Amino acid sequence: MSPVESAHPEGGGGGGRRGGGMSRRHGGGGQRAAQDPAARASDLQAEIDDADTSAWLAAEALLQEPQRERARAVAEKYREALADEREAKRARH
């Protein structure tokens, strides 16, 4: 799994191109999100994940290919650990 795909361990990150269609936010939930702390937290986490992915893609574009390979390996390891941490947190709640 690429770092971009693993940026959304819940299965997001769709689209056929890297970085495309990454948002999991959908319209119509503004009122609900303001009232439901769990929904608001989920929306905020999605925004953070989207910003993180955008930053990764911008940084990756600046790297030479050998640097990209190493950076992808580091990012993938980080994303996997993050996904494991989030899953463990969900399992506890």
The pLDDT assigned to 93 comes to 77
Which of 41-45, 47-51, 89-93: highest mean pLDDT? 47-51
3 state SS of 9:
coil
Q: What average pLDDT is seen over the chain?
A: 76
Q: Compare 12 and 41 and report the one with higher pLDDT.
A: 41
Q: What is the pLDDT of residues 72-87, one digit of tens each?
A: 999 999 999 999 999 9
Q: Which of 20, 85, 30, 34 is nearest to 12 (CA)?
A: 20
Contacts of 23 by beta carbon, 8 Å cutoff, 6+ apart = 46, 50
Domain regions of the chain by residue span: 33-62, 64-93
Lowest mean pLDDT among 20-24, 41-45, 56-60: 20-24
